[in-house]
Chains A and B, each alone.
Chain A
Amino acid sequence: MRMKSALAAAAVIALAAGCGSGGSGGGQAEPGEPVKLTFLSLAWQKESLAANKQLVEEWNKANAGIQVTYVQGSWDNVNDQLVTQFAGGTAPDVIHNDSPALSGFAADGYLLDLSGRLPADLKADIPRPAWDTVTFGDGKGGQGVYGVPFLQESQVVIANRKLLDASGVRLPTPDNPWTWDEFAEAARKMTKDGVFGVAWPMKSPVNKTLNLALNFGGTFFRTAGGRTTVKVGPEEKQVLQRIHDQLYKDRSADPAALGQGTADPLPAFYKGEFAMLPAGVYLRQQVAEQAPDGFEWVTLPPLKGTTTQQGAVSQTLSIARDSKHPDEAMKFIAFFLNGPNQARLAKGDWLLPTSVKAASDPAITTKENGWDVATASAKDLVVAPFLRVNGFDEWKSKVATPVLQEFYSNKISIDEAARRLVADGDKVLERYQR
């Protein structure tokens, strides 16, 4: 009896040990055996999924020595998933994510600093402002590059062609875009007979508002003497007030769309219930695919405040610091994100490539589906100021999202909104600066 229970105990311990060591990536490769990498991809649009999987397949065919396994992830919960996988030592080698998420993981030491590893041609093909979106502190006073940026999003305006022409307003071009005043005026003109000029879907209002706020130089954060605080002054209030005016003063914005997510108002857009929808360039994909026959639409360039600058974040590929094969992972990334391949990925996701070579690809500079306007808007992208703010994610979900939602639904005044963004916000940021 004693023997049996001792055996049982031994079995349990062996089991536990087995669980603990079943770590990432399959361990050191035997000589002659291929190195195995896992690649967590967050692609979700149909064309983009196909492009991602095809690139992995092409790589595997050409590189018998480095075999990549495609793992599907989702934007909804990727950061929760990564926190657990990093802590448990089972993270994938190559990780698809976006730059706002990288700063936290970098500061916590989970991502590999790529600055010394980037191949020269990859580094040269992607311009400086894009690299700025992935350069963060390493949590120990230094700086590092924690991902390769490859897809970016700008905010454009998608418009119903017929309603636009009928209103007789001037058509904006990338060289001569609408100012916010002209935009408001155009929306007012298009508002008649139960049709609204514009729709602002503001279920997730924070990134949209902050990226557009840069039009008037609104940064929302200020860093002085090593401390970051929230700032809501006249520059920041511009975009807030202008959107609010369209909703409640001009009444040129469709109130039904306010609580919706970005893609939710599309059915009403096709029916002609409103004329213009400010949205990220990727939304063109759904319009192009789903719009009923005969529905004509155009992509209008980004609006101009004092400048046309918008805050940019990037989709990125990073390497886990605990990956056993960082060199091989870097080679895979360099292949995956070279000029021609970035053009394929950009086309698949209807976003803007960071690669200079990809940006000149005829497939994404054509007039069709507004690609010319979308690609031209890349010049307005600058690194979003909130990217470097440690604790931004908590500020966003605990403070900014509820405050902006309440403000846009006219429950609180702009001064009350500003007060709470700053006072409650600074309390949250405090925690990250101890």
Chain B
Amino acid sequence: MWVLMLPALVPVALFSVGPLLYGIGLAFTDARNARDHETSFVGLENLVQLLADDDFWSSFRIGMIWGVSVTVLQFLAALGLALLLNQDLRLRNVARVLAVVPWAMPPVVIGLMWKLVYHPDAGILNGLLGTDVNWLADFSLALPAIIVVGVWTGMPQTTVVLLAGLQGIPRELYEAGEVDGACRWRRFWSITLPQLRPVIVAITSLDFVWNVNQFGLVYVLTQGGPGGRTRLPMLFAYEEAFRYRYAGYASMLGLAMAVVVLAVLGLCLWRQMRETAR
């Protein structure tokens, strides 16, 4: 039996599990990207250093602000859009296709496109508002500016998943609600939301993981600037590994982020399972 699974397992082990274990191993060494460097095992030294690193904590805070606000805003906007697209509108199918378009774009292209939107001299945004703001270089505006882009980027898949969820809700429930005299709001609150709940939990936790691990988009937009105000944890790890060449330290950072994300996810899923079990 295991022989039959081998062709599928070998690539997984070779290209996924292997590098993962290697990365975890690196986190406990003083590995550097240097030719003459002798790597040695240092135990938890990287972790100790990480916990005392102010730059890490500010990056972590930015990462959490980014992850939570993008996920929440994305969810609210996507829910609205999904409810709209679930109505019996004219040209509904065209609208559904249009809503998915951003999904087809690679993050780097989205980044370049929004960079043009935010451009201080030639940007559409300054043109529309008649302002003269350098959005991506302003210390207090840069983070909100990229959050908007993050929400825009992630909306399509959230919308599609929520829409699928909406269509799975049996019509009879709404009919029964109407018969009982429930108003629109009441029907939404007591039928739609509870029925969507598993879908919402699943897509929101997935979105959170994706957003916290976002890299390409922000790298293109700001490279973590100005003055580190948009330096998400993954950008921080990238800089540590490929700019300052502390590969071991960067691996520990990646590992710590993975643990945090897994903890958040675990909490959500555990609560969900407990609810369904009851």
Give me the interface of A with B, judged by CB distance under 8 Å. 1-2, 5, 8-9, 12, 16, 79-80, 83-84, 86-87, 104, 107-110, 139-140, 203, 256, 259-260, 264, 267, 321-322, 393-394, 397-398, 401-402, 405-406
Flag if A79 contacts B132 (CB, 8 Å).
no
Query: Chain A's nearest CB lies how many Å from the CB of B253?
Result: 14
* Sampled A-B contacts (25; CB under 8 Å): A1-B3, A5-B3, A5-B7, A8-B6, A9-B6, A12-B14, A16-B14, A83-B33, A83-B243, A86-B33, A108-B33, A108-B37, A108-B245, A109-B34, A110-B35, A203-B137, A256-B132, A267-B121, A321-B35, A394-B243, A397-B243, A402-B226, A402-B227, A402-B228, A406-B139
The complex places the Cα of A160 from the Cα of B228 at a distance, in Å, of 36
Asked, given contacts A80-B243, A259-B134, whether A140 binds B36 with beta carbons under 8 Å apart, the answer is: yes
B244 an interface residue at 8 Å Cβ cutoff? yes
Size of the B side of the interface (Cβ < 8 Å), in residues, is: 30
Inter-chain CA distance A264–B4, complex, in Å, is 62
Query: Contact: A104 with B35, CB < 8 Å?
Result: no
Within the complex, the shortest CB–CB distance from A297 to chain B, in Å, comes to 21
How close is A203's CB to chain B, nearest CB, in angstroms? Answer: 7
Q: Does B17 contact A (CB under 8 A)?
A: no
B:232-248 near A, CB below 8 Å: 239, 242-245
Interface residues of B (CB under 8 A from A): 3-4, 6-7, 10-11, 14, 32-37, 55, 120-121, 132, 134, 137-139, 225-228, 239, 242-245
Query: Which A-chain residue is minimally distant from B240 (CB atoms)?
Result: A394
Bound Cα distance from A107 to B138, whole angstroms: 36
| Contacting pair A401 B227 (CB below 8 A) | yes
Q: Which residues of B contact A79 (CB under 8 A)?
A: 243
Listed residue (A8, A104, A108, A393) with the most chain B CB atoms within 10 angstroms of its CB: A108
Identity of the chain B residue whose Cβ is nearest the Cβ of A4 in the assembled complex: B7
Total number of residue pairs linking A and B with CB closer than 8 Å: 75
User: Could you tell me if B11 and A12 are in contact, using CB atoms closer than 8 angstroms?
Assistant: yes
Choose among B6, B14, B121 the residue that contacts A5 (Cβ–Cβ < 8 A): B6
Q: Please, how many angstroms separate the alpha-carbon atoms of A256 and B126 in the complex?
A: 15
Residues of chain B lying within 8 A (CB to CB) of residue A259: 120, 134, 137-138
Partner among B7, B14, B245 whose Cβ is within 8 Å of the Cβ of A83? B245
**Distance of A267 Cα from B121 Cα, bound (Å):** 10
A104–B10 alpha-carbon span in the complex (Å)? 38
12 further interface pairs, Cβ-Cβ under 8 Å (given A8-B10, A108-B32, A259-B137)? A1-B3, A12-B11, A80-B242, A108-B37, A109-B35, A259-B134, A260-B134, A393-B244, A398-B55, A402-B228, A405-B226, A406-B227
From the candidates B10, B35, B37, B243, name the one contacting A12 in the complex (CB within 8 A).
B10
Contact A1 B227 (CB under 8 A): no
Known interface pairs A79-B243, A256-B132, A398-B228. Does A87 touch B33 (Cβ–Cβ under 8 Å)? yes
Expressed in whole angstroms, the Cα–Cα distance for A1 and B4 within the complex equals 8
Contacts of A110 in B (CB 8 A): 34-35
- Point out the residues of chain B lying under 8 angstroms from A394, CB to CB: 243-244
Residue in chain A with minimal CB distance to B34: A108
- Nearest residue, chain B, Cβ from A9: B10
Which residue among B32, B55, B138 has the maximum number of chain A CB atoms within 10 Å of its CB? B55
Contact A393 B228 (CB under 8 A): no
Q: Are A8 and B37 in contact (CB under 8 A)?
A: no
Q: How far is the CA of A109 from the CA of B226 in the complex (A)?
A: 32
Cα of A381 to Cα of B120 in the assembled complex, Å: 35
Q: Are A108 and B137 in contact (CB under 8 A)?
A: no
Chain A residues within 8 Å of B226, by CB: 402, 405
Distance in angstroms between the alpha carbons of A86 and B37 in the assembled complex: 13
Tell which of A8, A16, A86, A256 touches B7, judged by Cβ atoms closer than 8 Å. Answer: A8
Which 8 A-B pairs have CB atoms at the shortest separation, nearest pair first? A402-B227, A108-B34, A109-B36, A109-B35, A5-B6, A80-B242, A83-B242, A8-B7
Contacts of A401 in B (CB 8 A): 225, 227
B4 neighbours in A (Cβ, 8 Å): 1, 5
CA of A398 to CA of B243, assembled, Å: 12
Select from chain A the residue with minimum beta-carbon distance to B36.
Answer: A109
How far apart are the CA atoms of A2 and B4 in the complex, in Å? 8
Question: Which chain B positions have C-beta within 8 A of A405?
Answer: 139, 226-227
